[in-house]
Amino acid sequence: MPALTEVKLSVSSPAFKHGEEIPQKYSCEGENINPPLNIEGLPEDTKSLSIIVEDPDAPNGTFIHWVCFNIDPIKHIAENHQPGMSGHNSAGKTGYRGPCPPSGSHRYFFKVYALNTKPDVQEGIQAEPLKEAMQRHTIGFGELMGRYEKKGNNAGNR
């Protein structure tokens, strides 16, 4: 089977620009809610979206902060909104888990995948099996990277 043509999606947020600091509101030190996201350039045959938020700077390897899939093809994901089915993050829970690095500044990649199908996977799936299920169905991809460094001394991980 030939590889699908992958369109570059534009992923942005009114809360922060690519490469800039993620506002505390969206972290473990704030309201711990997902930031709003805007997605542009969806291919015409997009059937669903998936979002995976990763922190590659975590001390024990990449920490997954959010797995959300089977999202209807939409151009805006509202703040504090679970737009589709939820997978497990690296904390072993479903839903969004905000930035909470143990030390220093970490990078957080909000990865958006446009798919030509709705993956036939169960709620609670982890990121890697979801990526495998999406592999031959990804027709668009884009990401937004933000940084976060804890402001206070309260405990937390990643």
Q: pLDDT tens, 63-100?
A: 999 999 999 999 999 999 999 999 999 999 999 999 99
Which is the CATH superfamily of the domain at 7-148? PEBP-like (3.90.280.10)
Q: Map residue 104 onto helix, strand or coil.
A: coil
Q: pLDDT at residue 156 above 50?
A: no
Q: Which residues of 54-63 are buried (b: 16+ CB within 10 A; e: fewer)?
A: bbebbeeeeb
**What percentage of the chain exceeds 70 in pLDDT?**
93
**Is residue 157 predicted with pLDDT exceeding 70?**
no
Q: Please give the Cα distance from 127 to 51 (Å, whole number).
A: 10
What residues does each domain of the chain span?
7-148
Work out the burial of residue 85: count CB atoms within 10 Å of its CB; fewer than 13 is exposed, 13-18 middle, 19 or more buried. buried
Contact 45, 116 (CB under 8 A): yes
What's the pLDDT tens digit per position in 1-11?
Answer: 445 668 999 99
For residue 97, give the 3-state DSSP assignment: coil
Whether the CB-CB separation of 67 and 126 falls below 8 Å is answered with yes
User: For the segment 19-35, what is each residue's pLDDT rounded down to a tens digit?
Assistant: 999 999 999 999 999 99
The residues with which 64 forms a beta bridge, in sequence order, are: 54
